Copies of this chain bind each other. A is one copy, B any other.
Amino acid sequence: MPQNMLVFAGSSHPALAQKICSQLGLELGRSTIHRFTNQNIKVKLEENVRGADTFVVQTACPPLSDGIIELLILIDALRHASAGRVTAVLPYYPYVRSDKKDEPRISITARLMADLLETAGADRVLTMDLHSPQIHGFFRIPVDHLTATGVLCAHFLERGVSDWVLVAPDAGEVKDAGRYAKRLDIPLAVIDKRRYGDDEQARAIHIIGEVAGKHALVVDDEVATAGTLCETVRILLGHGASTVTAGVVHAVLSGQAPERVRTSPLAELVVTDTVPIPPERSCDKIRVLSVAHLFAQAIERIHDGRSVSALF
């Protein structure tokens, strides 16, 4: 086991990296990351890492490609600087939804990311709420896979969930919805949406289960443009739900998401801090729960050789 622990951070989410280090009682590892006018990124580690147990915190957020390249360069620099072990800490894993070949001649990019990380020199990965648990199998190096389910459920249970119903916005989402419904001990309903042919409008919507007069909760691993989420809110209110609340791990909130969330009749959007939300893209409806303590505990356990599964 390497002896001293060093946590470095890419430039994607300094607040989270800082929070993790504070919980660990560590200073962030010293490094400088420079971006030249030709957009080349230069990473320099400013302290000796030989034999050290190093962790690199980088989450997937804009500018996304820069973040990935920066991460790979950081890992490469650590390996060639003789780090004893390099753990890539990826609170929100890049390209996590590109995990299957649902059309011919596309890339399973989540798998490509795994390959690139191994090539650059990562010895292990620590991440959270992968879109599908099978992504774990894309790696030949050990992966510790945290979940924010506990943090989100604790939040909802604390405020009380009587008269709530968990609604899966699509047949494809029922599995995760079911997991939350069981943990919160509330009923489950499903929105069954079908398209006919190529006509975007020719669509039938059925609600399977009861939502009328209930507080609907929608959960997901990520919210990107919030288009589906806001449409779900409309459907549920249209079918008599009294309110709609959403619980999501990764607050991607890209494109029109901020405006959509602001103007939607959605009651509240509860998210975690795996992805930074710039103040101008946030609003009062968005509530952020921190998962920094989970990452700090996992890093400590990885370093000490203790089981991480106890955190799940």
Name A's B-contacting residues (CB within 8 A). Answer: 1-3, 36-46, 48-52, 62-66, 68-70, 72-74, 76-77, 79-82, 84, 95, 97-112, 115-116, 118-120, 124, 132-138, 140, 142-143, 145, 168, 170-172, 174-175, 177-179, 181-182, 187-190, 192, 194, 206, 208-209, 224-225, 252, 254-257, 302, 305-309, 312
Contacts and interface: CB of A to CB of B under 8 A. Distances in A.
Given A109-B73, A208-B189, A95 B65 contact: no
Nearest to A132: B134
- State how many copies of this chain the complex holds: 6
13 contacts: A37-B225, A37-B257, A40-B95, A44-B103, A45-B106, A50-B307, A100-B137, A101-B145, A116-B116, A171-B177, A171-B181, A174-B175, A187-B206
Contacts of A118: 119
A132 B249 CA distance: 22
Given A37-B224, A101-B133, A168-B174, A76 B112 contact: yes
A245 B309 CA distance: 40
Nearest to A119: B119
Contacts of A36: 224, 254
Nearest to A222: B38
A168 B105 CA distance: 31
A65 B68 contact: yes
Contact of A120 (B46, B104, B112, B172): B112
Given A119-B119, A137-B100, A73 B208 contact: no
Contacts of A305: 48, 50-52, 82
Contacts of A181: 171, 192, 194
A67 to B, nearest CB: 8
Contacts of A41: 65, 109
A106 B43 contact: yes
Interface centre among A80, A133, A206, A252 (most CB of B within 10 A): A80
Given A76-B109, A100-B132, A115-B140, 11 more contacts: A37-B257, A38-B64, A40-B97, A50-B307, A77-B105, A99-B133, A101-B143, A104-B312, A118-B119, A171-B179, A172-B178
